[in-house]
Structure 1
Amino acid sequence: MNRTDLTAAVAEATGLTTEHAAAAVAATLDGIARGVAEHGSVALAGFGTFERRRRAARTGRHPRTGEPMEIPASVAPGFKPATAFRRRVAATGSPEN
């Protein structure tokens, strides 16, 4: 499912026009991104928690030469699914899907 599919699903489920559903999806995603950036996390009960994760500096390997290289510390978004979400996904089928 991509953003267009999600917008269509929201429009169908809510009775909104496609344009209004697209605006709702965009506002939701923007709110999550802004919340993580400004507050460190966004928790949605029954769905999961979006959070800011810090990665320590480390030594890696240059992919072409194999030479060691320093990878600087960074901050990246992360997601921890809620138990209800994990169970729903697990109940949908085999691991090959």
Structure 2
Amino acid sequence: MVRSELEEKLADRFSQDFSRESVKVASDTILKALSEQLAKGGRIEIRGFGSFSLNIRPPRVGRNPKTGASVEVPEKRVPHFKPGLEMRDRVNSHIETKEQIKIAA
């Protein structure tokens, strides 16, 4: 699912309350707030869905694959998503249902 599909789904569900444009503005605002929180080094937790945090990769010495020369690779901060228990259960029950259908066929 991409952002436009999510916005379309929300607009269809709440068509009597919100216009498509207001749904777009709301989704942009939410995603911007989440991005800003991560950029500040913060953590985001959405109950029943999961949490976002930063993994810090320390600086290291890498190799240029073409020349073999040593290259200093700086520290990196990488966003990390950890699904919540409810999300994991939902995904796993969906997989189990597909496997049961395959076995029955």
The TM-score normalised by the length of structure 1 is 0.81
Letter in 2 for 1:4: S
Instruction: Map 1:33-48 to 2 at 5 A.
Output: 33-38=35-40, 40-48=42-50
Give the helix-richer structure, 1 or 2: 2
Q: Hey, what's the Cα distance between the residues in 2 that align with 1:71 and 1:65?
A: 16
Counterpart position of 1:5: 5
Aligned residues: 95
In structure 1, what is the equivalent of residue 57 of structure 2?
Answer: 55
Q: Larger Rg: 1 or 2?
A: 2
Deviation string for 1:16-65 (max 9, x for gaps)?
Answer: 22111111111111111112223511111111111122111122232333
TM-score w.r.t. length of structure 2: 0.76
**Residue 24 (structure 1) aligns with:** 26
The alignment partner of 2:71 has SS state of strand
Question: What is the Cα-based RMSD across aligned positions, in Å?
Answer: 2.1
Amino acid at match of 1:87: D
| Structure 2 unaligned blocks of 5 or more | 99-105
Residue 68 of structure 1 and its aligned partner are, at CA, apart by 3.3
The amino acid that maps onto 1:75 is R
Identity %: 31
